[in-house]
Amino acid sequence: MSFRQTLEIIDLLDRADASAAAVADLLRSRGLDEIELIPIEGAHARTDVLRIRVPGEDRQQPVLGIVGMLGGVGARPSAIGMVSDADGAVVILSAALKLADMAAAGDRLPGDVLLTTHICPNSPTRPHHPVPFMSIPVERTPLLESMVMPQMDAILSVDTSRGNRYVMHNGIAITPTVRQGYVLRVSEALLDILEYTTGEPSRVMPITTQDITPYENGLFHLNSMMLPATRSSAAVVGLAVTSAAIVPGCATGAFQMGSAEAAVRFCLETAKRFGSGEPLFHDEDEFRTLTRLYGSMEHLMSVPEHRRSE
């Protein structure tokens, strides 16, 4: 279980002076030393990206990327406390801390795991239907470029997904696999892991073509969960933290410990199997056949030229 590690991370993030440096110090004290902090300045605020590499037994094995997507962990001065949208950061940082403790106890994973997120306790909010979302304090492009790394052979993208009516359930759900502009079938292997870690029937978060395109095109997006698919040629699966009621991303007091901890365990179990070389995310042969028959869909990963100039 990873309740203790999740509580430790919450203690560091649920405060006005939350910082990536404090989290990095905690992770280093538990044995992780491949940690990078990247400050990104915005017009009115800043955020710090954390990159964490947890080494596995065999560094030649595939590398799983786990990206914590969010606007910010807090919306000060508009709201006091950790916001609902903080789940992405909480989950991946708790997973990193649990992996560090596992390694110290002799349980190292087969392959490396790369975990990235950013930490900002005073992010702005923005209107969104049906409830307001957290925004980000900096430009989205440099933030995504810092968090989505080319060394990631597949990506789990973790995000709060309570501000919609798609999966009305307290827990977690996964999306279909997305790769290079294609929405592929839902991974049966990841559905197995989802059911094992929750003890409940699997739930799938529906996504649309709009969701796998860049935010800059002005189209509606469910949330930022699938944006890593616009920055990587690797297979991407969204891991959504959901609720039975619609909750604004900027709401405080909305953190659900059971859902977040289940998401942490899902990440850990996925990392164990992915590092062993198991094709968890999609069927490579089927993807190649799809692209041979219907061509590239990579144009969906970029903003059309005429929109860039608007």
Distances from the Cα of 199 to the Cα of 171, 193, 202, 208, 266, angstroms: 11, 10, 9, 28, 12
CA distance 198 to 298: 34
Distances from the Cα of 280 to the Cα of 115, 148, 212, 269, angstroms: 18, 19, 20, 11
Q: Looking at this protein, which amino acid is placed at residue 47? A: T
CA distance 230 to 9: 29
Options 3.30.420, 3.40.630, 3.30.70, 3.30.160; CATH of 3-308 = 3.40.630
User: In which band, very low, low, confident or very high, does the pLDDT at 307 lie, cut at 50, 70 and 90?
Assistant: low
Going from N- to C-terminal start, the domains of the chain cover 3-308
pLDDT of residue 306: 55
pLDDT of residue 309: 46
Percent of the chain with pLDDT over 70: 98
pLDDT digit string, tens, across residues 161-184: 999 999 999 999 999 999 999 999
Mean pLDDT of all residues in 92-111? 97
Strands 125-126 and 133-134: antiparallel
Q: Closest Cα partner for 223 from 70, 10, 51?
A: 70
User: In which band, very low, low, confident or very high, does the pLDDT at 305 lie, cut at 50, 70 and 90?
Assistant: low
What mean pLDDT value characterizes the chain? 94
CA distance 263 to 205: 14
Burial of 252 (0-12, 13-18, 19+ CB in 10 A): middle
Mean pLDDT of all residues in 155-159? 98
What's this model's pTM, rounded to 2 decimal places?
0.95
Q: What is the DSSP letter of 248?
A: -
Please tell me which of 71-75, 268-272, 302-306 the model is most confident about, judged by mean pLDDT. Answer: 268-272
User: In which band, very low, low, confident or very high, does the pLDDT at 278 lie, cut at 50, 70 and 90?
Assistant: confident
pLDDT digit string, tens, across residues 255-275: 999 999 999 999 999 999 998
Q: Closest Cα partner for 135 from 18, 300, 302, 249?
A: 249
Both structure tokens of 43: 């017009």
Half-sphere exposure for 122 (CA within 13 Å, toward CB):
9
